[in-house]
Chain A
Amino acid sequence: MKTEVHNTILQVSEVQELTAGTANELKEEVRLRFVPELTDIELHCEGLEFVDSSGLGTLISMQKLAVLRGGSFRIINPSPSVMQVLELTQLHRIFTIIGN
């Protein structure tokens, strides 16, 4: 996983999968790097091929973190298979999804 800061945005990228095995670790990492000056989180999905139901939980927790700061959470360029899971669970209605 790689994180970069642009203005008030924490950009998360190079995540290969979001699963029960990796979700907690990732969630903690994002929480640590989402320092008080930041308000928004972006997940750049290039290279992210697999998300399971625990991974969806991580996405929801990132959204909560950003909303608590008065900011927003955006999912950038999800792959078709990731998009499919979001649609199946109807979470595409609550996330801001950009690209593709």
Chain B
Amino acid sequence: MTINPPANSICGAQDMAAWCWTGSGTLVSVREAAIGARGFLERLGMSKDECSKWELLLTEAGNNAVIHDVEGCRGEALEVHLLAGGHRILARVIDHGEGFDWPVSVELPDPSKESGRGLYLIQTLSDVVDYQRGASGNTLIMERQCETFPDLHGGQASSELEETLDEMTEELAGCYESLSALFRFTEESRTDGSIEEMGLNLLRSLAAVTGSDCGVLCLLSPDTGELKRVASLAVPTEDHWFSTPESEEIERTALRSRKDQWIASGPDAAFLSGANPPASGLAHPFFDNDEPVGVLTLARLHRADPLRAGEVNVIRTLSEFFMQRVMSFRFQKSLIETQLNRRELELAAGIQKSLLPMSMPSVPGFSAVGHCESALAVGGDFYDAFHRENGGVIFAIADVMGKGVGASMVAAITRAAIRSAVAHFETPAEMLKHAGGLLFDDLDRLEMFVTVVIGLVDPERGVVEIANAGHCPVLLAGADGVILSAEPLGVPIGLEPDPEITQSSFPMAEGSCLLAFTDGLIDPRASRNFESPEAVAEWLKANAANGPTAEEVKEALLDRLRDDSDAAPLSDDQTFLVIARDPSPLEPN
């Protein structure tokens, strides 16, 4: 409802009377307005005392507007609106000047001071005062109950009339309150660095507008779904209603029911108990689309009158704005996390790549090749192959439990430990046992473990010796089609300080082919993978029969793994190593 009559006019609605004045913002015209208002009230038959009080109220209000207009907008319109109905009179004084901050408490100055009594008079003479400083104007709202207001309508429907006036007052006041509170809150929230700061700011703004003593703001944690307090205003640490289960119950009920929960004392709210229960208040839930985000609770400890509709509107509007800011904060945070993750993946991929040999050792009559394809989440797979000083070729393949930079670092120390062990020990079992002992303390502390295979190919003797600590079986396909498998005979390293390692020894005849791989090839999460190590063995038997080179086996294996074009991206690293012994040149192939 808006009232917009011509300037300086009286409008008589059916159940109330209104008077409006618009003039320039000077001290002289302020008096003119106050005298005009007095005349209006006199014509309504108000008592002389009531008229004098309003004359003083409006003079003080107008003077304040003019005196605080340091920007020099004097002459710009000053508006005075009066509404009278039922037993109440309401005035709004609107100016477009600088405005001022209404003090937290208005007190009388020292008797010898010549100024500083205006606000005190306004506060004392009004039953309700509200000052809103805003971008488009400052509004001072004053309201008084009056005993002698004559019944304009022969005693009819006076309660109805009062109701209408109530609604109108609220609507008018709420509108201005919302606008200026929103303006101030948005201004201040620009500099807030965190959701907590912003939440406290919200509570402060709303407590000021609604006359609440204290408040609590809770948000649902997006991770755990629990209701967590992010800000509280003037809530004593203990022995207070806000720390009782009841206050939490009201918050939860608000979220569950998706409705504002009114806190009220008196017979309607016998459920309120606990230490220092509030006299009135509201728990307001807020939602992002349909998703619950949080609850805001405001309470008046000493005022039993419920929040007015205008005040509830401000609470809803500012909560909505706050919720939008929270969502945008969270979005930004997740964006940063994604970027960090990507950076970590890049780092981990770099480390992993640096662990692989630049080239495979070359041995006449043998071919060797490795492959390591990283999953999106980089892991700790690696393989290694190099000539041993006192003859033979060492190969190793390992899989570190875990992913990311941590797994890559563990892969790096594992590789170093293996290389060191190779220089000091004769057999793969001894090497692996030594490396496992070296790494145990670190892995134990990190609660990680590594599955490792170390193999030694002796081209002179045509033998391969394999030690396997918890890793996938290493397969050897003979030219005769027989598959030998070096099973994981020991536990992964990192689980025992002094692991028991045994080794397998297989002949590596001409035309045979060795395949070592990580469990990325048999990971059930990717449909193109093998179902089991046995399926890998079947595949190797079929594809290594004709004495192919290591490179040929690798290509065939990659073809097999990629033949499902719809397959999901890799969920684990796929790493394998192929060593093939050339077939006998005498055998026709």
Contact = CB atoms under 8 A, between A and B. Distances in A.
A60 B120 contact: no
Contacts of A84: 49, 52-53
A57 B31 contact: no
Interface of B: 27-28, 30-31, 48-49, 52-53, 55-56, 59-60, 63, 66-67, 108, 111-118, 120-121, 124-125
Contact of A88 (B48, B55, B112, B125): B125
Interface residues of A, number: 24
Contacts of A88: 120-121, 124-125
A52 B118 CA distance: 8
A93 B112 CA distance: 12
Nearest to A79: B52
Contacts of B121: 52-53, 85, 88-89
A58 B115 CA distance: 9
Closest 10 CB pairs of A and B: A57-B114, A21-B27, A53-B117, A53-B118, A81-B52, A20-B63, A60-B114, A52-B59, A94-B111, A20-B27
Contacts of B27: 19-21
Given A60-B111, A88-B125, 5 more contacts: A19-B59, A56-B114, A64-B112, A88-B120, A88-B124
Interface in A79-100: 80-81, 84-85, 88-91, 93-94
Contacts, number: 70
A63 to B, nearest CB: 9
Interface of A: 17, 19-21, 50, 52-54, 56-58, 60-61, 64, 80-81, 84-85, 88-91, 93-94
Contacts of B63: 19-20, 52-54
Greatest chain B CB density within 10 A among A19, A57, A93 is at A19
Given A21-B28, A54-B63, A57-B115, A89 B120 contact: yes
Contact of B112 (A19, A20, A58, A60): A60
B55 to A, nearest CB: 7
Contacts of A53: 60, 63, 115-118, 120-121
A48 to B, nearest CB: 13
Interface of A is mostly: helix
Contacts of A89: 108, 117, 120-121
18 contacts: A19-B27, A19-B59, A20-B59, A20-B67, A50-B59, A52-B56, A52-B59, A57-B117, A60-B113, A60-B114, A64-B112, A81-B48, A81-B49, A81-B52, A84-B52, A85-B121, A89-B120, A90-B108
Most chain B Cβ neighbours within 10 Å, of A57, A58, A94: A57
A84 B48 CA distance: 12
Nearest to B62: A20
Contacts of B52: 50, 81, 84
A53 B57 CA distance: 10
Contacts of B125: 88
A5 to B, nearest CB: 25
A54 B111 contact: no
A21 B30 contact: yes
B60 A52 contact: yes
A40 B358 CA distance: 110
A21 B117 contact: no
Contacts of A52: 56, 59-60, 63, 118, 121
Contacts of A93: 111
A100 to B, nearest CB: 15
A89 to B, nearest CB: 5
Nearest to B48: A81
A17 B56 CA distance: 12
A61 B63 CA distance: 20
Nearest to B114: A57
A80 B113 CA distance: 24
